[in-house]
Structure 1
Amino acid sequence: MTSTAIRPEGHPAMEHGRSLEDTVVVVTGAGGGIGGAITRLVLEAGGRVVAGDVRPDALAPLRDTWDEDRLTTHVGDVRGEATADALVSAGVAAFGRVDSVVANAAVGFYGGVLDYSADEVSLMVDVNVKGTVWLARAAVRQFRAQGDGGDIVIIGSVAGLLIGGGKEAVYAATKGAQINLGYALDRELRGEGIRTTTIAPAGVNTAFAAADGRFGDRDPSEGDFMEPSDIAQAVTYTLRQPRRMRTELWTMWSMSEPH
């Protein structure tokens, strides 16, 4: 016996998700653990990527693996508005358009509010907050020119919801700013078909997490933390969502982390 799916007359078939084939995604901090994982997963799904990072050597493994018809790279500091404009322009020049941007580049230092130098405070604010704003502005200009919507994905942190650990006040402030920016952009832009999603993970096994000091002498790979690929999967799931829906904020925790 065979069964036939029945749906009301005129009701569209279920849409199981959008393909990433040939979509163009800009990723900042693409030379790092999470950014690299996002870049690779988008490419493996058939997408095209503009990979940005401030460190030329960090982008070399991507360039060595993927051809120029799928990947273009740009070295620049996200603290400057010109870098965001250049990343979006690179996507248009190489692939004809930009469909999504992922604001992933971030800086964090662990310690009490008086433990940071003035330069470290400025670096966190400029990279995490201004870098996200500049990329969003560049994306919106391009999305409006194209006229068919787009996606802005912000990689935030649960620290921005004040449910992370202690001794991260300035970092938490920058991540809170990202989350509030995401909510505000959603209200401003969703009527144009531009979706804004903030993905806010807890501890992730990356060199970034190891370097900021929060784990002391312990290597985060020794703990039961999430992996960069987990965050990358969340990003690609977000981009694959049918255009009829959107995700505003997605918090992510490992099973072992209490909050």
Structure 2
Amino acid sequence: MDHYTRSLADTVVLVTGAGGGIGGAIARAVLEEGGRVVAGDLRAEALEPLRREWDESRLVTGLGDVREEATADALVAAGVEAFGRVDSVVANAAIGYYGGLLDYSAEECARMVDVNVKGTVWLARAAVRQFRAQGEGGDIVIIGSVAGLLIGGGKEAVYAATKGAQINLGYALDRELRSEGIRTTTIAPAGVNTSFAAADGRFGGQDPSQGSFMEPQDIAAAVAYTLRQPRRMRTELWTMWSLSENH
């Protein structure tokens, strides 16, 4: 590690949706570089693999629904209680359904908006309060999607709207917070081989693991790189595609 990059050793990174493919890969990437992680998820069983791999000196877990502001506040508080601080947050928790505008139920539409947009807003608010209290800046990383740039596939209008909201939130937060040393980065991948991608129906009967999509570890590596950037540097938006995908 040279003087042009920042070490992740002993930094504290909060990751939502850490029980999923991308979230779990992000948590492991930070832990493997010597960092400490607050791993949040809706389901306790989803976090079990991480708990089996890492002890409480490096990993603290928390349960809650990101649609509720109290969940973000509790996760930040858990990090402060366990490690004394929170240096970065990764808004990774998300949900999506594939289909035409009228193929979703009202409940499914509301769930996408609430998880993807409100969940990101609540986490950003909780993070900014803590970063300001610490007085040393911090990082907000949003896991978006190329769908939010209107270059994804069809039949994902509501999902694309939520991802567009995340991208615009990231740009606006960067303008608002950069003078305080708080950086906001949105990482927007295309297709990633995860159970999330397989479950939403976009691949029909095809197994995404048989396609040439990116892997969760690719997104995790991008997050780790972003956090290692020296404080003089910002990455506002990073789009990621596999070599075989067209747009």
TM interval, short-chain normalised: over 0.9
Of the three residues 184, 187, 190, the one matched with 2:178 is: 190
Q: Does 2:5 match 1:17?
A: yes
- CA deviations over 1:157-211 (Å, ceiling 9, x no partner): 0000000000000000000000000000000000000000000000000000000
- Runs of 4+ residues deviating >6 angstroms: none
Structure 2 match to 1:171: 159
Structure 1 match to 2:58: 70
- CA deviations over 1:125-176 (Å, ceiling 9, x no partner): 0000000000000000000000010000000000000000000000000000
Structure 2 match to 1:94: 82
Of the three residues 119, 125, 139, the one matched with 1:131 is: 119
Q: CA deviation at 1:247?
A: 0.2
Structure 2 match to 1:27: 15
Structure 2 match to 1:244: 232
Q: Give the residue type in structure 2 aligned to 1:103.
A: A
Of the three residues 172, 181, 185, the one matched with 2:169 is: 181
Structure 2 match to 1:208: 196
Of the three residues 209, 212, 236, the one matched with 1:224 is: 212
Q: CA deviation at 1:15?
A: 3.0
Q: Distance in 2 between matches of 1:56 and 1:70?
A: 18
Structure 2 match to 1:39: 27
State the superposition RMSD in angstroms.
0.6
SS of equivalent to 2:101:
coil
Q: Give the residue type in structure 1 aligned to 2:5.
A: G
Q: Distance in 2 between matches of 1:221 and 1:16?
A: 36
SS of equivalent to 1:251:
strand
Q: Give the residue type in structure 1 aligned to 2:82.
A: A
Q: Distance in 2 between matches of 1:106 and 1:53?
A: 11
Structure 1 length-normalised TM: 0.94
Q: Does 2:118 match 1:120?
A: no
Q: Distance in 1 between matches of 2:90 and 2:47?
A: 16
Q: Give the residue type in structure 1 aligned to 2:190.
A: A
Gaps of 5+ in 2: none
The structure with the largest alpha-carbon Rg is 1
SS of equivalent to 1:85:
helix
Q: Distance in 1 between matches of 2:209 and 2:219?
A: 16
